[in-house]
Structure 1
């Protein structure tokens, strides 16, 4: 289907480590929901669901399907050769949407604890990476596929966002962490 086929998207050791990181962070967020004040509970539950879906997607690789669909549509409609402006508009729209979502989240959770705010930063990192990666811009792909140490930069970015979210959830799970509200 559009060049995409179901299968394991990243069968490397680091791919499976990333899947495990998503799963662990999802469980931590779900546990944090049970320990959080009522006003924050839905945040942690939603974050757990988002991470669980990203965990599954890490190996199903649905973003490749969406990229292939976009490429096929662009070729069929004759604008594939001039795709750059559309890709930039897509990235711009995603960034604008993320900014609006961030403002709404911050407004809704402005009185939330620092743990929630830390997890918001992690989610912003992760979603920015996921959506910009899905845009499949050659210059961005070249940048995030650069090798830094053993893993590529895209692994550092993805796992970094997951770790920041997990850190917020772990902080929430600490008995002292639940009492530190500012």
Structure 2
């Protein structure tokens, strides 16, 4: 097991804590305003997601979870077959991500979510939050081919994680500004 979080994990936890603050700011701005209730629910859900991500990073739970899975697989003798299980889990995860993205895109096209700047900000932040959950799932599966993409020379893990996180923060700040300027 790991002894604790790395410096990068601590920095990520601090980034996530800042994003929790921006989500709560947006939630607070939406409370007294005349906005759809789903806005408030989305901002509080995103704040909770980033609290969970910060705790995962701060306490090195993601790495610990992977270590527990590996140890359990070693004890029951299935560790030598882990690649096959990871391939199946990755195929299921990627299929679920693709289906969820397709359903979301279809619903966005037909719904009121893309009408209005505030709706777009909440939708963009929600998509970024979903992308972070998908990224977390792929990191937990830890299939060699996926790891090579995420942690390889391009560091796609960092770009996706930081990019989606900053998108949520930016959308929250923009949303707060739009709601407050409408009063």
Give TM-score scaled by structure 1 length. Answer: 0.78
Give TM-score scaled by structure 2 length. Answer: 0.78
1:1-182 matches, cutoff 5 A: 4-5=1-2, 7-11=3-7, 14-36=8-30, 37=35, 38-98=37-97, 103=103, 110-112=111-113, 113-148=119-154, 152-175=155-178
* Distance (Å, rounded) in 2 between the aligned partners of 1:153 and 1:166: 20
* Distance (Å, rounded) in 1 between the aligned partners of 2:160 and 2:172: 19
Residues 121 and 164 of structure 1 are in contact (CA less than 8 Å); yes or no, is this contact kept in structure 2? no
Unaligned segments of structure 2, at least 5 residues: 114-118
Give 1:159 deviation, angstroms: 0.8
Give 1:155 deviation, angstroms: 1.9
* Distance (Å, rounded) in 2 between the aligned partners of 1:160 and 1:59: 20
Q: 1:51-88: CA deviations, max 9, x gaps?
A: 01211211212122221222122222222111112112
* Distance (Å, rounded) in 1 between the aligned partners of 2:137 and 2:20: 19
Q: Give the direction of change, closer, same or farther, for the CA distance of 1:85–1:40 in structure 2 (3 Å limit).
A: same
Q: 1:25-69: CA deviations, max 9, x gaps?
A: 111111111222233111111110110121121121212222122
Unaligned segments of structure 1, at least 5 residues: none
Give 1:101 deviation, angstroms: 5.6
Q: Give the direction of change, closer, same or farther, for the CA distance of 1:138–1:54 in structure 2 (3 Å limit).
A: same
Total equivalences in the alignment: 170
Q: Give the direction of change, closer, same or farther, for the CA distance of 1:47–1:155 in structure 2 (3 Å limit).
A: same
Query: What's the Cα RMSD here?
Result: 2.8
Residues 42 and 126 of structure 2 are in contact (CA less than 8 Å); yes or no, is this contact kept in structure 1? no
